[in-house]
A and B are shown apart, each in its own frame.
Chain A
Amino acid sequence: MKKSLKPWIGTGTTLIMAATFVAGCGSASNTTQETVKPSAAATAAATTAAGAKPFAGKTISLVTANHPWADAIKPLLPDFEKETGIKVNVESFFEDQLTQKLTVQFTSGSATPDVFMYRPLQEGKLFFKNGWVQPLDDYAKKDANYDFNDFSKSAIGSTTVDAKLAGIPIITEQEILYYRKDLLEKAGIAVPKTLDELQAAVKKLHDPKNEMYGFVARGQRSPLVTQVSSFLYSEGADFTNGDKATINTPEAVKAFTTYGTLLKDYAPPGVLNMSWPQAFGIFAQGKVAFLTDANSLYNNAIDPAKSQVADKVGFAVFPGGKAGSKPYSITSWGLAMNAKSGNKDATWAFIQWATSKDVVLKTQQKGNPGARTSVWDKPEGTTGFPAALVPIIKESAKAGVDHDRPTVISVGEARDAVGEIVQKLMTGETNIQPVADKANQALQTIMDKDKTK
């Protein structure tokens, strides 16, 4: 009896496993069919009855970063769904995982997500060149009520690739100067308007014996590149000029030296391994007098829960150099459409709604700096920000440059090449021209290679 049972166990398990396997495959293919069906039905419905709800029954998928904008838009989605009949499925990811998830999905030619949040200057060019992103030029200009020209020019510049509109800006940011009002007052120093004044003030307030440091900013190789960019522009330099890398020009070297020297001589120890969380962290501990970084991070400096100097922080426009004050003013996050999306019109309807004047006003009131000039000009458009910061944002946006890193496809590689110059300065290299020449060569190689893509 026992012996005759044994083989049955074998066959039984094999059968069960085979059955589960087949069933697994079956259900997987069923779900894909299901997602296709309603959209096909909806297209048919849309063509027959072009009523008030042309997209009734359609479903689009939205992928966002874990970002305050996503938190602000989610409660508004029911309005959109009621208005258009489009159902929006939302998924959210942390920044790095977002890029990886999108990359993997697009590589496999997936039709989802239909619409996604992306970082125009970091991945925009690669996504566009890889054919993953639908150009939106025609869509954006179709509806006069949408008022596309209302978007700030530099914000649109950030999301434009090869003269095509790759995405719609949703979050903008500029580099500003954070300072300690109490310290400046006590020392009788005016808020620095130029980089020279900043250096003098930093020197004066630097007192490492009492754990008080003059200046802090990002010192990690890749993260620092965006923050040194305003130094470059204000000295009249840029990363590139047309087809040429220009990070070894006298202006550029001067800008890198200013930034690198400030960090080497007047920053807290360990700045070499600091990105913005550490830089803001130590500023919020009350140990630093000046900090330059993005205005979008202001909450880290003035939120009493995070900062010991919450009520002592002042904001100022980025100090000017030879070319005046030229901070970056960029789109840090945009919305883009999957080129393979099966619901392009419904997807555009969503993008148009999410970036319309009304919705931008609502998200901006929750502290998400948008790209629409008309919203910034309304008094109720600025309620989400500290009153002292609003004029600084407006002024920075006016003079701002539309990129904060080299505008190439291989951004990651280019950032590491540029960051080398500042890191060498910070580790004590005094003869910086050869380092800049070498980095310039590396950047040029990256740019030349880009052209073959």
Chain B
Amino acid sequence: MQYSWFNRNLKWIYTLPAVFFVLLMMLFPIIYTVRISFYEWSMSATTPPAWVGLGNYIALFKDERFWHAVGSTFYFTVAALALEVILGVAIALLLSREFKGKNLVKTVFLLPMVATPVAMGLVWMLIYEPTIGVANMMLKSMGLSPLLWLASPNQVIPSLVIVDVWEWTPMIALIIMAGLATLPSDPYEAADVDGASAWTKFVAITLPLLRPTIIVAAMLRLIDVLKTFDIIYATTQGGPNFSSETLNLYGYVQGFQYFKLGSASSLLVVFFMLVMGLTLFMIWMRKRLEGAS
């Protein structure tokens, strides 16, 4: 008798530990963060957190540095994501062809993705060093004038985008390659019969069929790019003059350099909503696009 009870509820029993874990390790911190965001607290053992209501949020929305960080976050995200998707698709198409040494090229190509981001950040810092770095040496050898890269308020985000593109394009390419492998071959045969050019085949067959894959890849990457922390912290710490300070970085500074736990939490709550909102929007877009096709 009781065996059948277990049998019927096996799916709950098996998932219970995981559900419990998720609740404990993910939901609790989020709720706790929301709670702290209504307080002002420097982690003191002697003065308890002081209730400030929406004070942290109001201060945040009045804070120039916050809006600047929002701007930097979007600038960085849009630029990095666009380049990564375009390059990722292009590289996936290239690598899906048959050629000698394909597997070797594939492996080498995936290396940046598995490297430690902080270590890579330090290496890129050396590459970008204006006087002794490789980047300027290459520019000079091509007869171009050297750049300031990370040390210039205007060039710092593009420089970081290059690092991010270098590191994460392989991930997009990897997902797209998987998508390419599942494409049916009959539309291409039909196109061959009709005498379509390679470009027409790409635009009319490959891209539409790949669209769901591209959207999934872009969505996964979007969430990660928005949250980029490691390479920025390792190279510029948000400088010069806060030019590369994204929301995630500003949150860290508020929490662990200024010890303003309340403000940091309110910022992270806003940031969380932002990521959530964008993700939901992407999912909605995907559904609509799929419905249309």
Residues of A within 8 A of B (CB): 4, 6-7, 10-11, 13-14, 17, 99-100, 103, 106-107, 109, 126, 129-132, 211, 219-222, 268-274, 278, 282, 285, 287, 339, 409-410, 412-413, 420, 423-424, 427, 453
Answer yes or no: B180 CB below 8 A from chain A CBs. no
- Assess whether B258 is in contact with A270, with CB atoms less than 8 Å apart: no
- Assess whether A269 is in contact with B42, with CB atoms less than 8 Å apart: no
Answer yes or no: B219 CB below 8 A from chain A CBs. no
Among the 9-residue stretches B208-216, B237-245, B283-291, the one with 4 or more Cβ atoms under 8 Å from chain A is: B237-245
Answer yes or no: B197 CB below 8 A from chain A CBs. no
Chain A: minimal CB distance from B156 (Å): 8
Please report the C-alpha to C-alpha distance between residue A221 and residue B257 in the assembled complex, in whole angstroms.
Answer: 13
Please report the C-alpha to C-alpha distance between residue A413 and residue B256 in the assembled complex, in whole angstroms.
Answer: 11
Q: What are 30 sample pairs from A and B whose C-beta atoms fall under 8 A apart?
A: A6-B7, A7-B7, A10-B10, A10-B14, A11-B6, A17-B17, A100-B256, A130-B42, A130-B46, A131-B44, A131-B45, A131-B46, A132-B45, A220-B240, A221-B239, A221-B241, A221-B242, A268-B131, A269-B130, A269-B151, A270-B131, A270-B150, A272-B240, A272-B241, A273-B156, A287-B132, A410-B258, A423-B240, A424-B241, A427-B153
Q: Which residue of A lies closest to B5 (CB)?
A: A7
Chain A: minimal CB distance from B50 (Å): 9
Q: Which residue of B lies closest to A11 (CB)?
A: B6
- Assess whether A7 is in contact with B239, with CB atoms less than 8 Å apart: no
Chain A: minimal CB distance from B244 (Å): 10
Contact among A7, A14, A270, A409 for B129, CB-based, below 8 A: A270
Known A109-B45, A221-B241; contact A273-B150, beta-carbon cutoff 8 A: yes
Chain B: minimal CB distance from A106 (Å): 7
**What chain A residues lie within 8 Å of B146 (beta carbons)?**
269
Please report the C-alpha to C-alpha distance between residue A106 and residue B44 in the assembled complex, in whole angstroms.
Answer: 9
Judged by DSSP, the binding face of B is: loop
Q: Which residue of B lies closest to A130 (CB)?
A: B44
**What chain B residues lie within 8 Å of A10 (beta carbons)?**
6-7, 10, 13-14
Q: Which residue of B lies closest to A21 (CB)?
A: B17
Contact among A11, A269, A271, A412 for B259, CB-based, below 8 A: A412
Please report the C-alpha to C-alpha distance between residue A129 and residue B45 in the assembled complex, in whole angstroms.
Answer: 9
- Assess whether B131 is in contact with A269, with CB atoms less than 8 Å apart: yes
Please report the C-alpha to C-alpha distance between residue A59 and residue B37 in the assembled complex, in whole angstroms.
Answer: 39
**What chain A residues lie within 8 Å of B130 (beta carbons)?**
268-270
**What chain B residues lie within 8 Å of A285 (beta carbons)?**
131-132
Chain A: minimal CB distance from B121 (Å): 13
**What chain A residues lie within 8 Å of B6 (beta carbons)?**
7, 10-11
**What chain A residues lie within 8 Å of B131 (beta carbons)?**
211, 268-270, 282, 285, 287
Known A220-B240, A273-B151, A423-B240; contact A7-B3, beta-carbon cutoff 8 A: yes
Contact among B42, B129, B151, B236 for A126, CB-based, below 8 A: B42
Please report the C-alpha to C-alpha distance between residue A6 and residue B13 in the assembled complex, in whole angstroms.
Answer: 13
What mask results when residues 101 to 140 of chain B are scored 1 for a CB within 8 Å of chain A, else 0?
0000000000000000000000000000111100000000
Number of chain B interface residues as a range = 35 or more
**What chain A residues lie within 8 Å of B152 (beta carbons)?**
272
- Assess whether A14 is in contact with B13, with CB atoms less than 8 Å apart: yes
Q: Scan residues 1-34 of chain B and give those whose CB is less than 8 A from a CB of chain A.
A: 2-4, 6-7, 10, 13-14, 17
Chain A: minimal CB distance from B242 (Å): 8
Nearest 9 A/B pairs, CB to CB:
A270-B151, A412-B257, A270-B130, A131-B46, A269-B130, A273-B151, A7-B3, A130-B44, A7-B6
- Assess whether A278 is in contact with B43, with CB atoms less than 8 Å apart: no
Chain A: minimal CB distance from B32 (Å): 13
**What chain B residues lie within 8 Å of A410 (beta carbons)?**
258-260
**What chain B residues lie within 8 Å of A6 (beta carbons)?**
7, 10
Please report the C-alpha to C-alpha distance between residue A100 and residue B152 in the assembled complex, in whole angstroms.
Answer: 30
Please report the C-alpha to C-alpha distance between residue A290 and residue B89 in the assembled complex, in whole angstroms.
Answer: 50
- Assess whether B241 is in contact with A423, with CB atoms less than 8 Å apart: yes
- Assess whether A107 is in contact with B240, with CB atoms less than 8 Å apart: no
Chain B: minimal CB distance from A77 (Å): 29
Please report the C-alpha to C-alpha distance between residue A219 and residue B237 in the assembled complex, in whole angstroms.
Answer: 13
Contact among B2, B42, B239 for A272, CB-based, below 8 A: B239
**What chain A residues lie within 8 Å of B132 (beta carbons)?**
282, 285, 287
**What chain B residues lie within 8 Å of A220 (beta carbons)?**
237, 239-240
Please report the C-alpha to C-alpha distance between residue A221 and residue B237 in the assembled complex, in whole angstroms.
Answer: 10
Please report the C-alpha to C-alpha distance between residue A271 and residue B150 in the assembled complex, in whole angstroms.
Answer: 10
**What chain A residues lie within 8 Å of B260 (beta carbons)?**
410, 413
Please report the C-alpha to C-alpha distance between residue A273 and residue B3 in the assembled complex, in whole angstroms.
Answer: 67
Answer yes or no: B38 CB below 8 A from chain A CBs. no
Known A10-B10, A410-B258; contact A453-B45, beta-carbon cutoff 8 A: no
Please report the C-alpha to C-alpha distance between residue A107 and residue B47 in the assembled complex, in whole angstroms.
Answer: 12
Contact among A103, A423, A424 for B43, CB-based, below 8 A: A103
**What chain A residues lie within 8 Å of B42 (beta carbons)?**
126, 129-130, 409, 453
Chain A: minimal CB distance from B267 (Å): 14
**What chain B residues lie within 8 Å of A221 (beta carbons)?**
239-242
Answer yes or no: B148 CB below 8 A from chain A CBs. yes
- Assess whether B259 is in contact with A273, with CB atoms less than 8 Å apart: no
Known A410-B258, A427-B153, A453-B47; contact A273-B7, beta-carbon cutoff 8 A: no
Q: Which residue of B lies closest to A413 (CB)?
A: B258
Given contacts A10-B7, A130-B43, 17 further A-B contacts (CB under 8 A): A4-B3, A17-B17, A99-B256, A103-B256, A103-B259, A131-B44, A221-B241, A270-B150, A271-B151, A272-B152, A339-B45, A410-B258, A413-B258, A423-B239, A423-B240, A423-B241, A427-B241
Please report the C-alpha to C-alpha distance between residue A453 and residue B131 in the assembled complex, in whole angstroms.
Answer: 46
Please report the C-alpha to C-alpha distance between residue A302 and residue B205 in the assembled complex, in whole angstroms.
Answer: 65
Please report the C-alpha to C-alpha distance between residue A129 and residue B107 in the assembled complex, in whole angstroms.
Answer: 54
**What chain A residues lie within 8 Å of B60 (beta carbons)?**
none
